[in-house]
Amino acid sequence: MSKFFTRERFGQPQIFAGLLLLVFLGQCVWLASRPNPYRESNDAEIARVETGLAFWGKGPESNAIRGVPHSEIGQPPASAMGGPLALERESQDKDHSALWYLISAAPFLFCPTADLHGCVVTHAWLAIVPNLIFAVLLGASLWYVARRLYGNNGGYIALAFYCFSPGVIVSSAMWFAQPEMGAAWGAFGAIFTAIAVSHTLYAPREVVLWNWRRILLLGLSFALAVGSQFSLIILVPVALLFMLYLAPGRKRAAFTIWLSACVIAFGLIFAAYGFHPAKFLGALRHANFFGLIWQAFTVTEAYLALFRHLLRLGPGVVAMLPVVLIAYAYWRRARYFGNTAPLIVAALLFILSLGSPHYPGFGFALMAVPFLFVFISGVIADLLETEHRTLVLLTVGGVLLASACANLWQVMHAM
């Protein structure tokens, strides 16, 4: 235990990152506590929780066919006002698996079965708890990855952009938003865990036994991402491509690890359906794995919507992104794998967002945000190592300070 609590693990950088995450959590809690007429319908929230409780085996509907009811985003099913949930297999949710509902309902497992609906209505605020936990874990993972790739400066910059991003805070607090932070954390973990595993393949140890923790984490990331949003399955082959690229001499080992993680993810999602093959296959049959609308790429409104999403990330991101892209394009030193990989994933997800004008288009854009922050922090960290360090530091510091002040003002005024 004494080796775990070392200065390297819990030093000044970790303390500072923890303080930033506390500030971030405080903003989310404050925002979630404010009255907001634009917040997702409380009826839809209650319906989602009651469906999840049915999957947990609580309530009169728990013995029914546990398909996931499909409804338009933000619109509650007809049963949301306390009647029996519509658990028919023919009307399943095309975008989310049972795992998404199980996570949403987890804080309500203490509710007595006799008054399940009343308990859910009374404690409806608990629905935000899993989303907040995932948001904090995503911030911690973002800081850890950026710090490992680019040093302390890169970690601080990425985390500061994340903690003072209005779009991230709105999503974390579930203001006019579905609980998507679990999917975002899973997507981020899927890519960077795959990269981390690849870097260990040349160690002189047995590949499967040595990497079992990372294999388990990679499988959990796949399950959380795909289980929370079916269309994120596109990141699974992307992770494999990165693994094969980073370990060209150990392709068989890389594929074995990737396949093992896929089996773990499959098992976890299958478990969410109670290991019932018919229910699981029915969900897969209705799942929307690839719902791009090619005509959307020719519609101007789709690009305007993407630009508005970038604006929601904060003025600092909008100000720094063109500069960082120019530096990446014209400065050879910045074009290495550590910067290129998050840029590729962010660009892919933004393209998918353009091609999905409705849900899950916003989900794709949200998943792209952490990768975009990693890319920005990486290029800035490289610029800080040049002779123009002072100018870059003052510019970035000013942008982050202005973004933080603007964001805090918005949060204090309830957005």
At 219-231, the pLDDT tens digits run 999 999 999 989 8
Q: Among 15-24, 74-83, 148-157, 367-376, name the one with the lowest average pLDDT.
A: 74-83
Report which of 412, 362, 411 is spatially closest to residue 176, judged by C-alpha positions.
362
The amino acid occupying position 153 is N
Which pair of tokens denotes residue 324? 């960082």
Cβ-Cβ contacts under 8 Å for 375 (sequence gap 6 or more): 324, 328, 339, 342, 343, 346
Q: Which helix (H) or strand (E) holds 207?
A: helix 207-210
Q: Regarding predicted confidence, which is higher, 187 or 166?
A: 187
Give the C-alpha separation, 192 to 99, whole Å: 22
Q: What is the DSSP letter of 3?
A: T
Please, which residues have CB within 8 angstroms of residue 148's CB and are 6 or more apart in sequence?
Answer: none
- Is the pLDDT at 39 greater than 80? The verdict is no
Percent of the chain at pLDDT > 90 equals 34
What is the pLDDT, as a whole number, of residue 159?
94
Q: List Cβ neighbours of 383 (8 Å cut-off, separation of 6 or more).
A: 327, 389, 392
pLDDT value at residue 325: 93
CA dist 258 and 243 (Å) reads 8
Q: Which of 73-87, 172-186, 237-251, 386-400 has the lowest mean pLDDT?
A: 73-87
The residue whose two tokens read 């009169």 is: 60
Q: If DSSP states are collapsed to H, E and C, what string results for 32-46?
A: HHCCCCCCCCHHHHH
Q: Which of 231, 294, 24 is nearest to 133 (CA)?
A: 24
Q: Whole-angstrom Cα distance, residue 365 to residue 307?
A: 11
User: Residue 67 corresponds to which amino acid?
Assistant: G
Least confident of 124-128, 141-145, 156-160: 124-128
- pTM for the whole structure: 0.87
Report whether pLDDT(65) > 50.
Answer: no
Mean pLDDT of the chain: 81
What is the residue-wise DSSP string for 319-355?
A: HHHHHHHHHHHH-GGG-SHHHHHHHHHHHHHHHHHHT
**What pLDDT band is residue 179 in, cutting at 50, 70 and 90?**
confident
Which residues, listed in sequence order, are joined to residue 92 by a DSSP beta bridge?
69
Contacts of 244 (CB under 8 A, 6+ apart): 251, 254, 255
Q: How many helices (H) and strands (E) does the chain have?
A: 17, 0
Tell me the two tokens of residue 399: 């942008």
Summarised one tens digit per residue, pLDDT across range 299-346 is 787 788 888 888 877 777 888 899 999 999 998 888 999 999 999 999
Contact between 377 and 392 under an 8 Å Cβ cutoff? The reply is no
Residue 35 has pLDDT above 80, yes or no: no
Axis crossing angle, helix 337-354 with helix 181-198, rounded to the nearest 10: 150
